[in-house]
Amino acid sequence: MAKKYVQIVDPIHDFITVYSHELGLVDSPIFQRLRRIRQLAGAHLVYPGAQHSRFEHSLGTMHVAGQAASILKEKGYLSSDDYENIRMAALLHDIGHGPFSHLFEEVLQKNKTISHEEIGKKIILESEIGDIINKSGFDKKFLSNLAFGNSKYQFMNEIISGGLSADMMDYLLRDGYFTGAEHAKIDFMRIIHSLDVHEKKLSLAKSALYSFESMMISRYQMFKAVYFHKTVRSAEVMLIQSMLLADKELELATDDIKKYVQMTDEFVISKLVSLEPKDADLKRARQLAIEYQERKLLKCVYEKIFTRPRMNQVNTDELQNRIAKKAQVNKCEVFIDISKTPSIPLSPSKTESKSIILATKKGEGPKESYELPISEIPLVSAISGFMDMLRVYTRQQFRKKVEIAANVILGENI
């Protein structure tokens, strides 16, 4: 008799169970490709332990989503089929990521106006992934919608993405563990056991509000300390610029699935460092990739953090030109980086989350639910809105001149 599951040892969740109908997906070449895409792109150049990949994060997200679904199944909100669908959708939620994870998104959106979610849908619907799903008796179209927050069951979408999502619970714990950052300690089991459903939306027991608050603060701190760390972003700015300069030559921003799934971190970096310098752009792309590989990183000479959206007011090309002119350096030696994130995770529909639904129960009386605005959760309210970071980078030899120019120009305007 064939074994119905395997167990994978995991440093975050101890053991992750993968059932036979999920194993076909995990063992497929397209999913195995996620082993070769780092979860945190260039963060390993600052935090050497951050070598973990989208592969183990996807397994972890499936595991946490399964735990959440199991709790809601016990409470009567989900069937066994729903439980299996949620696990599989969570497993596939990152299947469309390109090399260097979210970093590649900036290349895609600059040149193709397409997201990794849209590519993920294509992979599920048009590749062997969809064939495996169908052969297992599942609906690939439904799973595609659920994996990317578009199913008609809002609370099921919210298990996978959003402010109470399995995705965030796994990546905070996993990224904190592998970077060594102490900011990502969250009591995710308390949150999971406190989940409920109110009017087709995910809700949380009021008694677990402090755990939710702590998780939001942890996420905010991880963005400041890890994801938007100035040296991490220095490495990533170099990679983005290199890929943009070489995109036409290498056809990186493709929505051709066969070409797309060939691309991994090492595949792309090897292409970049091997570029034939036929023109100035390709020469510069190659130089940036080599310097990234050798950790000869750009220096940050100006930094400002905003907690309310301000960056839409900034014309980066104009700013680059002005700073370069003031510093008397070539404009290609000035790098403007604008990093943005909502302080509270977006909902599955990609809108700003402005409230959380809390459930209360007194004695033997009926359960009551109400919507609590984020503005009424003091610590979370303090960080709500958007965290925007504006930074100016340059090479070591131009550091002083560009620093002076950036401070003069940005001191006048920001």
Is the pLDDT at 346 greater than 50? The verdict is yes
**Beta strand pairing call for 335-342 and 386-394:** antiparallel
Q: Alpha-carbon torsion 405, 244, 36, 166, what sign? A: positive
Question: Is 300 in contact with 230 (CB distance < 8 Å)?
Answer: yes
Say what the pLDDT of residue 413 is: 55
Report the alpha-carbon distance of residue 301 to residue 147 in Å, rounded. Answer: 40
Give 16's contacts (C-beta < 8 A, 6+ positions apart). 7, 8, 10, 59, 60, 62, 63
Q: Which tokens belong to 91?
A: 């497993």
Report the alpha-carbon distance of residue 321 to residue 36 in Å, rounded. Answer: 37
| Residue 108 pLDDT grade (very low, low, confident, very high; cuts 50, 70, 90) | confident
Report the alpha-carbon distance of residue 395 to residue 190 in Å, rounded. Answer: 47
Is 2 strand, coil or helix? coil
Give 40's contacts (C-beta < 8 A, 6+ positions apart). 47, 50, 52, 101, 175, 178, 179, 226, 227, 232
Is the pLDDT at 72 greater than 50? The verdict is yes
Closest to 229 in 3D by CA, of 184, 237, 380, 408: 237
Give me the residue spans of the domains in the chain: 5-230
Q: Which fold has domain 5-230?
A: Hypothetical protein af1432 (1.10.3210)
Q: What pTM was estimated for this model as a whole?
A: 0.93
Average pLDDT over residues 265-271: 97
CA dist list (Å): 45 to 41, 62, 231: 9, 28, 8
Q: Which residues share a beta bridge with 7?
A: 17
The count of C-alpha atoms lying within 13 angstroms of the C-alpha of 8, restricted to the half-sphere facing its C-beta, is 19
Is the pLDDT at 1 greater than 60? The verdict is no
% the chain with pLDDT above 90: 74
Is 275 strand, coil or helix? coil
**Beta strand pairing call for 368-373 and 355-360:** antiparallel
Longest CA–CA span in the chain (Å) reads 76
| pLDDT 10s digits, 360-377 | 977 676 788 888 888 788
| pLDDT 10s digits, 36-65 | 999 999 999 999 999 999 999 999 999 999
Q: In what order do the strands lie in the sheet with 201-205?
A: 195-198, 201-205, 355-360, 368-373
Average pLDDT over residues 266-292: 96
189: Cα separation from own chain's centroid: 22
